[in-house]
Amino acid sequence: MPKNFVQKILEEHLVEGKLVPGEEIGLRIDQTLTQDATGTMAYLQFEAMGIPRVRTKLSVSYVDHNMLQTGFESADDHRYLQSVAAKYGIFFSRPGNGICHQVHLERFGQPGATLLGSDSHTPTSGGMGSLAIGAGGLDVAVAMAGGAFYMTVPKVLGVELRGRLQPWVTAKDIILELLRRLTVKGGVGKLVEYFGEGVGQLSVPERATITNMGAEFGATTSIFPSDDRTHEFLLAQGREECWKPLGPEPGATYDEVQVIDLDKLEPLIAQPQSPDNVVPVQKVKGLKVAQVAVGSCTNSSFHDLMTVAAILRGCIVHPDVSMVVTPGSRQVFAMISRAGGLSDLIAAGARILESACGPCIGMGQVPATGTVSVRSFNRNFPGRSGAVNDKVYLASPETAAACALKGEITDPRELGEYPVIGWPVKFLVDDRLILPPPASAAGAEIQRGPNIKPLPLAKPLPEKLQGKTLIKLGDNISTDAILPAGSKILPLRSNIPLISDFVFSQIDPSFVERAKKAGGGFIVGGNNYGQGSSREHAALAPMYLGIRAVIAKSFARIHWANLVNFGILPLVFENEVDYVRVNQDDKLEISGLRKAITSGGPLTVKNVNRGFEFPVKHSLSGRQRRVLLAGGLLNFFRQR
């Protein structure tokens, strides 16, 4: 049978298991990526493994999240990260060099390589033909130590692109259309491969916009073939030697297929408070806008920002709008400056932010109370912007620029002729802010600030779990809701005792006090529990508070894996009616746990104070059962 591109890469990197959908496999990882919000914990975990040097072909540590240094914590973490990189053989991208996914695409991504990153938007590099997967930091630490990355073989969803995008319709609209169709949980258990005649018209940065936001419908990752457009990009980056033509074999088939007719697409926009709440811009035009933000790892390329600059040239941002622009990398920043785009943006009244994640992760630019913010970002979960009741809309940079000019949601097609921006023949290459590791770790001393606390570990799984249902939640609870980000909380990522005080703080401020008083307990959730970010702190902090099991209707992939990694049992209601019957404060009990997990046998939960029992199930592999019995992946790895 002819193979699709995904099957070919998986086969080439397979080290354990069989490529059968639903089976667990182990993959060899070529490259790893971390960022500072997740990296500090990942490197603490790597240190605990006792491995003297990373064993991947390439590992890169980026600093791009905790850039708003209102206290000493973030600066201390950055010094720790730089010193760890020097000691263990890791490239270090200094603060100011750019957003990890943008920089990795520019300087390190390779067609056909496997990339594992401690950030859910790692699939960005799928735009150049990498099999790039987001994971928790502990999984990344294991990969750096030479271990395999384990995942369930996903179904392959083929997305055929037909036709050609019309003026003012962009790559962002392609991925918004998929989100409209599939919803935020429609890609769970799937890997997306793009093919068809429409692929060839998309540049690597445009493809990266699409693969970046594949994370929003829960896909394991997304990938484009490596073709002439990939060669064009790598040649312009001075990395032609990395290129090779890769793609599906003629006649390859897919488990499912979606067809998108690019000719028929129109500008789209995601309404609050979910990336899949997508409608045509025309449907909500005229709604007053108070803030516009262009950038993030989704839409901050040279082409994106030069297009926005051309739209704003000679104009002024509407007086009722605050507009900010974030260049995705130092390379982009320098190039829009040399090309005149930066001066156009400044002259129009846009405020230029440093090359970092910034507002996308709630680091500054919190919208005014009750106002609409239009952003070219990837997520608009409740409170992600820093305001609990925010009204964040997601759209293309072109639509965002039109809104900034008009002061209301505007179809960009109303602006007239679409500005044509040429693609650079040669990108400006200056890697002086990327520090290569020294040949030897001799003399390298790790620097630890007072905010870096010892890594907490779970205890081995007990024979019996009992405790209260500490909280009952609905569907699509994101990791932002479990453990928020923002300028107050994000700097505490290396301090689990302190950051645990913010678990569910935006949903139920009393949760932490009740969890501590009860000595732990259970969490009950709805469908797609833990969607969004890869932040393993959304599992680590609850574990620290004594949570040993989460019972939900279904789980998002990365969070489910993170729960297992930190010794928390993820269980699924066998009958959804039982979800309705369980209430907050109910006392639950699971007996015979170790025996049932060891054998893979059935599990029953007893609702003690309501007097009924209900069955639950899990999809743990044999390896994952052993991980849970050991009290988490780090315990398991060290035992081996």
Kindly indicate the confidence band of residue 574, based on its pLDDT and cuts at 50, 70 and 90.
very high
Kindly indicate the confidence band of residue 639, based on its pLDDT and cuts at 50, 70 and 90.
confident
Determine the topology of domain 465-639 in CATH: Aconitase; domain 4 (3.20.19)
pTM, to two decimals: 0.94
Determine the topology of domain 268-413 in CATH: Aconitase; domain 3 (3.30.499)
Q: Show which residues are catalytic.
A: 64-65, 119, 379, 533, 535
Burial letters 482-504, b for 16+ CB under 10 A, else e: bbbbbbebbbbbbbbebbbebbb
Average pLDDT of span 408-430: 95
Answer whether residue 640 shows pLDDT above 80.
no
Q: pLDDT tens digits, residue range 482-537?
A: 999 888 888 898 999 999 999 999 999 999 999 999 999 999 999 999 998 888 99
Quote the pLDDT of residue 184.
93
Per the document, the length of the chain is 640
Which has the closest alpha carbon to 158: 87, 73, 253, 90? 253
Sheet bearing 149-152, strands edge to edge? 14-16, 24-27, 149-152
Strands (E), 29-179: 31-35, 58-62, 91-93, 114-117, 131-134, 149-152, 155-162
Query: Cα separations (Å) of 387 from 53, 100, 192, 366?
Result: 42, 25, 33, 6
Average pLDDT of span 173-196: 96
Residue 467's beta-bridge partner residues?
Answer: 588
Tell me, yes or no, if the two domains 5-264 and 268-413 fold the same way. Answer: yes
Six-digit token string for 461: 């799984």
Which has the closest alpha carbon to 264: 184, 353, 164, 130? 164
Q: Out of 240-244, 586-590, 593-597, which region has the weakest mean confidence (pLDDT)?
A: 593-597
Q: pLDDT tens digits, residue range 136-149?
A: 999 999 999 999 99
Which has the closest alpha carbon to 563: 519, 518, 609, 627? 627
Which residue ranges make up each domain of the chain? Answer: 5-264, 268-413, 465-639
Query: Cα separations (Å) of 433 from 68, 92, 374?
Result: 19, 8, 32
DSSP category for residue 603: E
- CATH number belonging to the domain at 5-264, selected among 3.40.50.620, 3.90.1200.10, 3.30.499.10, 3.30.70.3280: 3.30.499.10
